[in-house]
Amino acid sequence: MVSMEREELERWRRCSILHVDMDAFFVSVEQREDPSLLGRPVIVGVPAERSVVLSASYEARAYGVRSAMPMSQAHARCPQAVVVRPRHELYYQVSSELMEVFRSYTDAVEQLSVDEAFLDVSGALRRLGSPVEIARDIRATVRARLGVPASVGIAGTKFLAKIASTRSKPDGLLVIEPGEALEYLHALPVNALWGVGGKSQQQLARLGISTVADVAATPLPVLLKSFGAMGRHIHDLAWGRDPRKVTPERVDKSMSAETTFREDVRDAESLHRALLSLSHRVGQRLRSSGMSAQSVALKLRYADFGTINRSRRLDFPTDSAARLYDISRHLLAAVGPLPQAVRLVGVRAEHLEPSAGAVQLSLDRTEENQRLVERSLDEVRGKFGSAGLTPARLLKPPRPPGQDQSSL
């Protein structure tokens, strides 16, 4: 047990929220797998004209490369960058191991995404020391066990802890103690406030507001008149008010996979093949995380970038790829004749819940048989990798997909 004076203990209890954020996570994992990539401009993404950057190393960012940037633009800015195709299964495996590391320090872990989480370490102070000591140990453990870097922000609120982690990157640690919070916060530009994007930043600029200090100095009625409830939100943040607690819960509200075609398509066969592939990717992620979906959604993006989403609630939850495919195929049929060619298609499993020990069966046991086959494939992939394991229908696709993306 760590010895800590009562006064010091109370001080750190007021500053015991950590925001841990991985640095260029996908790239960091690839560099772990291939150390020759260290120190080089690296881009994770599919090397196709219509795909986008999924992750970029800090060496590539120095040339202006950013996530979600079109690959063609990224290549123009940094032609010497090494482009690595994404391996989503590997990233989610490392993410799962990462969260287990966090939970070894505290049960109060709120996962935000595949590579970041809030931790409340107030209950671990007597046992492990100050939040700074805990954060240092977390960073060292993540580096030693997983081989990837992490940045940590420490503060008394979730908002300030996230600001601290952002400003400690890459591979750093920053503490914003309560007594220093307002001074630090008010020196920041207004877009540091959660919820202030490009349009609201322009609207604030028209009011002569460019810093967080300006927001704090603006009377609340003025902000309410211009922004409604959003005005109260940014006013509270500007004064460091953020009462939200770290809430331990799964991040998996949904799981999805998307593909952007190299050429726009509109024939049913190409779309069905894509849906089948995406359904198997989502189904495998559901099973590996012990989750089932209560609804399934289809996403279509047309050639003009217009996007539609359709969803259907299921009679009972599923983690079966075959079931996901069947529902997404029916959702596509329900759209009717396509008004134009499709650029992107996606499958999303929604309203997730932990899989029950017993799964409701269809009358002819078809779905249960399919699930048994899929779980057997999961076991084989876990032992020998996924090469060569795919539905026969996908062995010779007429059009190779372009960008592949997965999200939580």
Cβ neighbors of 35 (< 8 A, separation 6 or more) are none
Looking at 59, 110, 116, 258, which residue is catalytic? 116
Classify strands 254-265 and 109-113 as parallel, antiparallel or unpaired: unpaired
Cβ neighbors of 4 (< 8 A, separation 6 or more) are 12, 125, 126, 129, 130
DSSP string covering 121-184: -GGGHHHH--HHHHHHHHHHHHHHHH---EEEEEESSHHHHHHHHHHH-SS-EEE--HHHHHHH
Would the annotation count 21 as a binding residue? yes
Contact 299, 319 (CB under 8 A): no
Cβ neighbors of 145 (< 8 A, separation 6 or more) are 97, 101
Q: Where are the alpha helices (DSSP H) in 239-365?
A: 268-289, 321-335
What the block records as the tokens of 171 is: 């591979």
Q: Where are the beta strands (DSSP E) in 334-379?
A: 342-354
116 labelled catalytic: yes
Give the CA count within 13 Å in the CB-facing half-sphere of 113. 10
Determine the Cα–Cα distance for residues 326 and 332; give it in Å rounded to an integer: 10
Please state the residue numbers annotated as binding site for Mg(2+): 21, 115
Please state the residue numbers annotated as binding site: 21, 115
The residues annotated with a catalytic role in the active site are 116
